[in-house]
Amino acid sequence: MAGGSEAPPLGAILAEFVAGHPRRGWDDAVESAAQRSFMNWLGCAIGAARHPALDATLAALRMLDPAPQGSVPGRNDRVDMASAALLTGMASRALDFDDLHPRTTIHAAGPVAAAVLAVGEHLGSSGRELLDALVLGVDVACRIGSTMGPEHAERGWDITGSTGMLGAAAGCARMLALDAAQTAMALDIAASQPTGLREQAGTMTEPFHVGSAARAGMMSALLAKHDFTASPRALEGPHGFVPVVSERRGWQEATEALGRRFEIAANLLKPFACAVALHPAIDAAVQLRARGVVAAQVQQLQLDVHPAALALEGDAHPRHAAAARASLAHAAAVGLLFGRAGPAEFDDAAVHRPDVAALREAVRATADPALADTAARATAVLADGRREAVHVAHAIGSAARPLDDDALRAKFASLVEPVLGPSRCALLSDACVRLASMEDLRELASLCRPSSSR
Amino acid sequence: MAGGSEAPPLGAILAEFVAGHPRRGWDDAVESAAQRSFMNWLGCAIGAARHPALDATLAALRMLDPAPQGSVPGRNDRVDMASAALLTGMASRALDFDDLHPRTTIHAAGPVAAAVLAVGEHLGSSGRELLDALVLGVDVACRIGSTMGPEHAERGWDITGSTGMLGAAAGCARMLALDAAQTAMALDIAASQPTGLREQAGTMTEPFHVGSAARAGMMSALLAKHDFTASPRALEGPHGFVPVVSERRGWQEATEALGRRFEIAANLLKPFACAVALHPAIDAAVQLRARGVVAAQVQQLQLDVHPAALALEGDAHPRHAAAARASLAHAAAVGLLFGRAGPAEFDDAAVHRPDVAALREAVRATADPALADTAARATAVLADGRREAVHVAHAIGSAARPLDDDALRAKFASLVEPVLGPSRCALLSDACVRLASMEDLRELASLCRPSSSR
């Protein structure tokens, strides 16, 4: 297989960058993106703290009798820090409400944040150290994802799990203050451990990919700290990670503007708890509702969407939550009915509501290749013959219209209040904003536990 | 990507087989292969118990403060059972002395035995249960490996780690007495977690692949036991395991003669601690020595070998143990000098011995495509002009000349005596032979601990 010989020493270059980068060392836009990505990630993790996937995983982990080293945000359980990374990474992805690095389609914060928070809580690291590790770890995962291009995911890899272990390894190496050689080793050990198949979409194993990547990356950093060895060409050699899992090797994209452009600045926070391809249609449906369209009077809901919105594996008649999160008809229906599309609008109860089912039946969707993937048109045809139309050029949450800070706080509260209560949620929200100056991450971890709030 | 639609429901078929197969339920040849594969595997694991890769991994695992659930054969350390599987799987592969399922090139016992022994010790299972789980787990891994063919490994996957998690999941599901549906789930969860790149050859990460596969398979079974979910098409669906990691999908090979032909019967136990491609030349060199050829008098050692013996990444001038284990010149040199080629003949000290280096320089190797991959010719040209020639048609350890029971006991003793001492080694050797009637695997585990022997 070609591609190995002309490759740069990727592990060494990225490790030098991660180990040698100054504290912070980026502009306010990057810093804000990091703080917002973390807050969004933590909200998603806490919102899914009682997800059945976490209960099942905890039951399995209990068979190993784990040490009470680390916490799982939103729960009182304590487990060893590697298991904490696994559980938290999984939680943050379980509601499909997290984030997206659009060029690579990596849900970027998940594997890195889960791993560095677990290590940081255990070590009593500072918020500054966490943010630095998050920015650098996300950079590594997204840059390696960029070398592979869309073919990697099209082949069937769940790219968040198949690059996340590299981001988590980089982030944990930074938290552990590994030197450049050890950091390279951490990346090279992690290279052997991609987790994730797109075939798992809609099952508990899909979010497991994120947790598994977090755990694998952390363990790779711990091994590297203790003089474990791997090939210095594990990422880019002829039988190394990128050549094995990808036909494309855009090596220059891994190092382009390294230390000047930070990938986390491009990370998008999701306003709706479903596949991003459905967001423009939801936005349009929400806007129809805001203009006074009442669902009960809608005879037909015509949607013109980018072809990707119709290419998902969901269908017009979902029978459970996982299918609904990939169903254009369901997504548009709940947008019009409720004016929002959070986790509750995609759960099994929502799927089976008669009003939602009736509105799904009224959807007529057409793919329009001329539309951007952030655009949609929606036309409601009412019982009295009137028509109301909305054109969304850039959906809320896209790069042109990112979630603003108020919307992020509202999203965070919608996820965290049901688990921790409003006063604890407000404290935690403030803690996220002042994370860069927090001296000890155990303060944050403590705020994430339900018991200490009662 | 094509290939998903016509695929059989692989997970369901194999799970039904694993969960429903009667105890033993095979002929004596299969039973003997299972007992011998296990004994060989255990010897290799104990022989590498003090390998630096294990020390490094234990140091990393200690940071998680693991519960003292399970043991690591040849050590007194106790760790949680998932970590025990990781460490033991790694140990069994660390000396490159283990076994090989020739059609798939899977080192078949490693991931399965490590996982089922760790579960079995924790549960106090019987030796019968272990042997059943080993046979069935090896069958699953080798059958799925067979569907993919050589291209999968040629692409760069270390196939032992990239199929081992499936074998370990199957074996642990059997140990845990999971039903067919849960067993299918275990396989489907494991499908997302291949570990292993050939680029890691010669580093600690290479044996880590085996341990990681053992651990991943065990955890997949524990998750399945607790109602975790995965796609029922995770193995064979369009974005499932086989289509994602392989161009070839020989589905029929996964199920051909299922329950009648058992893959463990084809498993070969290695007589020499290096790549199998080098074994015919070593065998020939050992035979030259038996005929009285003295290394110091050899001016040239001419070798005719199958091309695969020259295609390894080692070279004629290895500078460390890992390179020596892939070096034809080194392998033949130690065979002629010492009459054996165990771990000691491939360690750093052996690499740097002047007599070994001199004999390596005397090797002249020629690839002969007409030779079988189990064949070699060796001719020693002596200082006095005499020539001595040997032709090996089937190397020791190949299917035509498998290691006999005495040779296996001798190999086991060579590995175990230095760690546990001769009397404990003899007890353990006997225990392996009567494994099928052992009531509680904790007896075996106890015999594997150095401390209780003193």
Q: What is the tens place of the pLDDT at every residue in B193-242?
A: 999 999 999 999 999 999 999 999 999 999 999 999 999 999 999 999 99
- Length of chain B counted residue by residue: 454
- Which chain B positions have a beta carbon within 8 Å of A11's beta carbon? none
With an 8 Å Cβ cutoff, are A226 and B59 in contact? Answer: yes
- Across the interface, of B1, B209, B219, the residue whose CB is closest to A192 is B209
Give the strand pairing for B99-100 and B376-382: unpaired
pLDDT at residue B339 tops 50: yes
pLDDT tier at B451, thresholds 50, 70, 90: confident
* Helices assigned H by DSSP within B353-439: 354-361, 405-420, 422-433
Cβ distance A192 to B156 less than 8 Å, yes or no, reads no
Structure-block tokens of residue B64: 């998680």
Residue A228 in contact with partner chain B when CB distance is under 8 A: yes
Contact between A432 and A44 under an 8 Å Cβ cutoff? The reply is no
Residues of chain A with pLDDT under 70: 1-5, 313-314, 452-454
Residues of chain A with C-beta less than 8 angstroms from the C-beta of B227: 52, 56
User: How sure is the predictor about B454, in pLDDT bands with cuts at 50, 70 and 90?
Assistant: very low
- Residue B364's φ and ψ, nearest 5 degrees, are -125, 115
A-chain residue closest to B82, CA distance: A64
pLDDT at residue A453, rounded to an integer = 44
- Given a cut of 80, is residue B40 above it in pLDDT? yes
Rg (CA), chain A: 22
Q: Which residues of chain A does B185 touch, with a Cβ-Cβ cutoff of 8 Å?
A: none
Q: Which residues contact A443 (CB under 8 A, 6 or more apart)?
A: A431
What pLDDT sits at residue A452?
53
Tell me which residue in A80, A158, A237 faces B65 most closely, judged by beta carbons: A80
Residues of A in contact with B56 (CB under 8 A): 223, 226-228
Say yes or no for a CB contact (<8 Å) between A196 and B200.
Answer: no
Q: Report the alpha-carbon distance of residue A234 to residue A187 in Å, rounded.
A: 8
HSE-up of A385 (CA within 13 Å, CB side)?
0
Q: For residue A202, is it left (φ>0), alpha (ψ between -120 and 50) or beta?
A: left
A269 forms bridges with which residues in the sheet? A99
Question: What's the mean per-residue pLDDT of chain B?
Answer: 96
Q: pLDDT by residue (tens digit) across A73-123?
A: 999 999 999 999 999 999 999 999 999 999 999 999 999 999 999 999 999
Q: Does B317 score more than 90 pLDDT?
A: no
Minimum distance, in Å, between the CA of residue B214 and any CA atom of chain A: 13
Chain B positions touching A237 (Cβ under 8 A) are 199
DSSP state of B227: T
The C-alpha of A65 sits at a distance from chain B's nearest C-alpha, in angstroms, of 6
Which chain B residues are Cβ-neighbours of A194 within 8 angstroms? 194
* Chain A CB contacts of B243 below 8 Å: 156
pTM above 0.95, yes or no: yes
Burial A195-207 (b: 16+ CB within 10 A, else e): bbbbbbbbbbbbb
Find chain B residues with C-beta within 8 A of A57's C-beta: 223, 226, 228
CB proximity list for B141: less than 8 A, separation 6 or greater: B106, B108, B111, B112, B163, B164, B166, B167, B168, B170
Supply the pLDDT for residue A1. Answer: 39
Give yes or no for residue B346 having a pLDDT over 50: yes
B172-193 per-position pLDDT tens digit: 999 999 999 999 999 999 999 9
Strands A298-305 and A363-367, by their bridges, are parallel
Which of A:97-156 have CB within 8 Å of B? Answer: 154-156
**Interface contact flag, A69 B65, Cβ < 8 Å:** yes
Question: Is the Cβ–Cβ distance between A400 and A394 less than 8 Å?
Answer: yes
Chain B CB contacts of A80 under 8 Å are 64-66
Cβ distance of B231 and A188 shorter than 8 Å: no
Residues 40-69 of B with CB under 8 A from A: 52-53, 56-57, 59-60, 63-67, 69
Nearest CA in chain A to B200: A231
The residue of chain B nearest to residue A240, with distances taken between CA atoms, is B199
Percent share of chain B, pLDDT over 90? 94
User: CA end-to-end span of chain A, whole Å?
Assistant: 59
Give me the pLDDT at residue B3, please.
44
Closest-CA residue of chain B to A4 = B199
Q: How far is CA A449 from CA A73, A446, B126, B186, in A?
A: 6, 5, 42, 31
Contact A53 B201 (CB under 8 A): no
Distance CA(B112)–CA(B130), nearest Å, equals 10
pLDDT at B313 over 70: no
Among B182, B172, B107, B183, residue whose Cα is nearest residue B145:
B107
Stated as kind and residue range, the H or E segment containing A251 is helix A251-255
Kindly identify which residue of chain B lies nearest to residue A52, measuring between CA atoms: B228
Strands (E), B55-114: 70-71, 78-79, 99-100
Mutate to test the interface with A, among B65, B87, B197, B228 (most CBs of A within 10 A): B197
pLDDT of residue A311: 84
CB within 8 Å: A195 and B193? yes
